[in-house]
Amino acid sequence: MTDTRLEFRNVTKKFQDRLGSGRTIVAVEGVTLSVQDGEVVSLIGPSGCGKSTLLNMASGLSETSGGKVFVDDDEVVSVNEHVSFMLQKDLLLAWRTIRENVEFGLEIHGLPRDERRRRSDDWLARCKIADFADHYPHQLSGGMRQRAALARTLATDPHVLLLDEPFSALDAQTKMILQQDLARTLSEAGKTALFITHDLVEAVALSDRVLVMSQRPGKIIEEIIVDIPGRADPMERRKDPKIGPYVGQLMSLLHVGEAELEPV
């Protein structure tokens, strides 16, 4: 097994505009990137630059129009069980308890009951929601629900985690606590993650590297290596004086504040 967990080689994605015209839209173009074992890499860019499209191709839910995606050196041609994703929506199933939700992927993978139970116990505890194992999702706060979603994502022991703005719907303080727990959990488990976010501080605080994408058609225009110690402790990292310059650099790359807000 090599050190590269996830790799995009010259990946392009086009699709037909469904609204009337039927013209071809190039969502992402010529994206090449790789994520090493145990690395956390953030992907930032303007809205609609194709970040989520990249994740869909990495998970095998959507095909590339050109180029290839590899997970553990195997080309992704269909859904890949070594990849697990987590979205802004928790996607918890309302009719299942938190434990049953955490076991959802394991159940589909056909694991025996005892093994499922052992793993869900483990991840419920690590994600600090063991006390709510028998609750239904509607009984939990947004932050707790995202913890459950994280436990479900990790329970199948994926090699690569795809995180698509998982904390963007949470309030600022809950968000910081969950970032802290996520960072520690990823570090302890030695997991590899590709993290999409709009939050520049979040991107810097949580990652080893930050990749910046351009507007559509999305290309990677810059790679920033975050040279701040303690990736497993974003709370401390946030206080580091180097955060400011990194965020400033990202702001200028993304032209934040340079133009009027686009009409929606």
Please report whether residue 222 would count as binding other proteins according to CB under 8 A.
no
Distance CA 6, CA 60 (A): 12
CA distances from 91 to 46, 85, 87, 96, 201 (A): 25, 11, 8, 11, 26
* Contact predicate 11/76, CB 8 Å: no
Cis peptide bond prior to 166, omega within 30° of 0: no
Among 63, 89, 131, 245, binds other proteins (CB under 8 A): 89
Among 25, 26, 91, 169, binds other proteins (CB under 8 A): 91
DSSP 218: B
- Per CB under 8 A, contacts with other proteins among 117-146 are 136, 138-139
Region at 42 (left for phi over 0; alpha for psi -120 to 50; beta for the rest)? beta
Of 21-29, 65-73, 89-97, 245-253, the segment contacting other proteins by CB under 8 A is 89-97
Q: How far is the CB of 36 from other proteins (least distance, A)?
A: 23
- Per CB under 8 A, contacts with other proteins among 65-84 are 79, 81, 83-84
Residue 93, C-beta contacts closer than 8 angstroms, at least 6 positions apart: 100, 101, 104, 137
Please report whether residue 64 would count as binding other proteins according to CB under 8 A.
no
Distance CA 193, CA 94 (A): 27
Among 94, 259, 261, 264, binds other proteins (CB under 8 A): 94
Q: Which is nearer to other proteins, 53 or 59 (CB)?
A: 59
Using DSSP's 3-state secondary structure scheme, residue 258 falls into coil
Residue 103 structure tokens: 């076991």
Please report whether residue 108 would count as binding other proteins according to CB under 8 A.
yes
Distance CA 263, CA 245 (A): 30
**Per-residue mark of binding to other proteins, 145-164 (x: CB under 8 A):** -----------x--------
Among 11, 40, 104, 183, binds other proteins (CB under 8 A): 104
Residue 13 backbone dihedrals phi, psi, to 5 degrees: -135, 125
Total of chain residues touching other proteins, rule CB under 8 A: 24
Please report whether residue 85 would count as binding other proteins according to CB under 8 A.
yes
Please report whether residue 105 would count as binding other proteins according to CB under 8 A.
yes
Length in residues, the chain:
264
Q: Which is nearer to other proteins, 20 or 110 (CB)?
A: 110
Q: How far is the CB of 93 from other proteins (least distance, A)?
A: 7
* Contact predicate 198/45, CB 8 Å: no
Interface residues toward other proteins, by CB under 8 A:
59-61, 79, 81, 83-85, 87, 89, 91, 93-96, 104-105, 107-109, 136, 138-139, 156
